[in-house]
Amino acid sequence: MTEVEYAGNRQHDTDDIEEPKPPQAFSSSAAIVFSCLGTVVGTGNIWRFPRIAAQNSASQGTLIFLVTWFVFLFLWSSPMLLIEYAIGRYFKKSPIQSFRKAMGDKFVWCGAWVTSVTFLISCYYSVVLGWCFYYVYKTIQLSATGELPQAEPESQEIFEAFAEKSYWPIMCHGLAILASGACVIGGITWIEKANMVLVPTLLLIIIGTYCWSVLNKYSDYGIKFLFTPDLEALQDPRLWVDSASQNAFDTGAAMGLIVPYATYMTRKHGVVRFSTLIPAMNNFVSMLCALTIFSTVFSTLIQTQSTLSRTGIVEIIKQSGPASTGLTFIWIPVLFAQVGILGKILCVLFFLCLSFAGVSSLIANFELTSLTLQDFGIPRKYGTPIVIIATFLIGLPSAMEIEILRNQDFVWGFALMLSGIMFQLLVIKYGVRKFQQEVVNDYGEKDWRLTIVTMIIIVVIAPLEAVGLLAWWGLELIRSTADEAPGNRWYDYGVETFVTVITEWVALLLLLLFVNVLVYYLRPSWMREDTDESKYANGDGQFELKSSGAYSRPFEPGAVNSAYVNSNENLSDVKY
């Protein structure tokens, strides 16, 4: 053959063609699973999910939140992740370039929205990761020189002294960014090796911690509360919004994080299978974390403050730091303090592995932004330092003031609903049937089939979910806060008020639209790249690598593959 061809539309046309791997690729399916789990299993499961569950606990229990959160796994997160896996594997581009390939030059802003929201999440996520780093140090110090905190007030005092009354968060924020950025500079090989160690270790610690917590006296009270329904909670739009956005945050749905990893996947890696199993595994981890925290809180408070009612315990959970931001950091040391010397060791290991999980997730965030810059012609060795510096500077306000972190967490965590709409628009604009057949079913090998039911969820049910939740949340917030104290009314600029959220969203949207218009008329080199039949034959999903092709990522040092030449050479001369 005189050309390298990737047939995505006619399976029988390519049965005799061995698909070459990209210059760098995952070495095995296990590497994909652990790397993708590393992307999403982290502080979002261990820190964010228990606190969001606590904030949405009704007087009788938390089950309504858990049920709605679980439903959104199948009606939102898995379908959105399927799109990410599919376009990453098919187009071999960053989200911005993938949106441009699928929708045209006028829709670059859609991919830019996804990338920008995820980048802004990473800016405060690194602050929380810094907290994890600090608690590794602090638990070692307390274990060596004294005792872990025995009760909630003592533990909360330690958290507040660190998070609200010191400069430690800034230093730890920078340390977390440097640790994650170092892995990204090494490319997918370093990322894969790191995740193959970090993720299994984390899972073992989480399972061990869970087992210990549920065996404590009175822990069953916390478990019963977690699984007790309160039907009145169904009327609260904030519960539905938090359920959807938390499941998206948990799984990384619509964050674009999976797209870069999927570019290293081949046709033999099943995107439908991965987009179903990995989010389910991730949500299972979140449930273990919630069970661990709730059983610990109820067990400890019942034994130390026996006069507290269930309502009183729930209020303490909600007040563990502003908006429960300190829930995990306050209660995990209390849990392990009951185990003596072994508890000290386990506490250090827990926060160490929580740090590992945060690093693996932040690696994915950095990889997304680095790949985006790389697609615009900025080499990884320059792009990654740019990402590191920008993340540190933009995350500084969240490190300095915990209320700003609360604001950023709500605004951009909720914005994942809008990111989901962008992915849904991509499928609709590209063609529903075309996406189902060319990009997924015909292009993949040995994968589960993408059914019409899933496509209906993607193009009908999921958009209705997003628009309905956004509208319900906005109307209810306006109605319920009109008579609140100044600073909490919907038209005030507060931490989580309606006008604050809309202002931040609109500001980002206007900026991206302006940049899109600018580059559309200036036509930079990356927008003049050939996208006609020389690369995508007759729009039938068939890749012909005549120029840089689908695998257009520049070679990394040490990533030599005998089946590839430098992307600047004429690939029509390559023989197979």
pLDDT value of residue 13? 41
Angle, nearest 10°, between helix axes 237-251 and 462-481? Answer: 130
At position 15, the amino acid (one-letter code) is D
| pLDDT at residue 569, rounded to an integer | 37
Report pLDDT for 508: 97
Give tens-digit pLDDT for 170-210: 999 999 999 888 877 766 666 667 677 777 877 888 888 88
Q: pLDDT by residue (tens digit) across 473-520?
A: 888 888 888 888 888 888 899 888 899 999 999 999 999 999 999 999
Per the prediction, the chain carries an average pLDDT of 80
Determine the Cα–Cα distance for residues 91 and 551; give it in Å rounded to an integer.
Answer: 8
Residue 320: the pLDDT is 62
Q: How many CB atoms sit inside 10 A of residue 312's CB?
A: 12
| Per-residue tokens: 487 | 């600073």
Q: Where are the domains of the chain?
A: 37-523
Average pLDDT over residues 213-231: 90
- Considering Cα of 351, then 356, then 362, then 366, what sign does the dihedral take? positive
Q: What angle do CA 242, 246, 250 make, to 5 degrees?
A: 175
Sequence-separated (6 or more) residues with CB below 8 Å from residue 555: 23, 564, 566, 567
Question: HSE of 252 in the Cβ direction (CA atoms, 13 Å)?
Answer: 37
Highest mean pLDDT pick, 2-6, 45-49, 158-162, 297-301? 158-162
d(CA 491, CA 518) in angstroms, rounded, equals 33
Level-2 CATH architecture, domain 37-523:
Up-down Bundle (1.20)
CA separation for the pair 218, 301 (Å, rounded): 9
Binding residue ranges: 38, 41, 45, 282, 361
CB burial of 182-199 (b: ≥16 within 10 Å; e: otherwise) equals: bbbbbbbeebbebbbebb
Q: Are 424 and 458 a contacting pair, CB within 8 Å?
A: yes
Q: Would you call 545 helix, strand, or coil by DSSP?
A: coil
- Please, is 83 exposed, middle or buried when counting C-beta atoms within 10 Å of its C-beta (0-12, 13-18, 19+)? buried
> What is the tens place of the pLDDT at every residue in 375-395?
888 888 888 899 999 999 999
Amino acid at 337: A
Comparing 539 with 151, the larger pLDDT belongs to: 151
- The pLDDT tens digits for 404-445 are 998 998 899 889 889 999 999 999 999 999 999 999 999 888
**DSSP 8-state secondary structure symbol assigned to residue 164:** T
Are 529 and 538 in contact by the 8 Å Cβ rule? The answer is: no
Pair 36, 276: CB distance under 8 Å: no
Binding residues for Na(+): 38, 41, 45, 282, 361
Rounded Cα distance, 412 and 93, in Å:
24
Q: What is the residue type of 262?
A: A
pLDDT band at 227 (very low <50, low <70, confident <90, very high): very high
Sign of CA dihedral 134, 140, 146, 152: positive
